[in-house]
Amino acid sequence: MGELTDKVKAAGNKAAGATKEAIGKATDNERLEAEGKLQKAKGTAQDVAGSVKGALGDKI
């Protein structure tokens, strides 16, 4: 169950991050663009965590 939760959170963070980054670029808002990149990275980390949990059977 933890793997699925992490994967769902990861997808949400990646999508929200991509949106923020795109809006930041379009409006020349460097701070919003940076926040988007950071949120996408957080999503990637959550995705990796979910994969590790899945591989170890949620024992971590």
**pLDDT tens digits, one per residue of 1-60:** 577 888 899 999 999 999 999 999 999 999 999 999 999 999 999 999 888 887 777 565
* Confidence (pTM): 0.80
pLDDT reported for residue 58:
52
pLDDT reported for residue 57:
72
The ranges assigned to domains in the chain are: 2-55
**Six token digits for residue 6:** 């992490």
Q: How far is CA 22 from CA 4, 7, 57, in A?
A: 27, 22, 36
**Six token digits for residue 54:** 């899945």
pLDDT reported for residue 49:
86
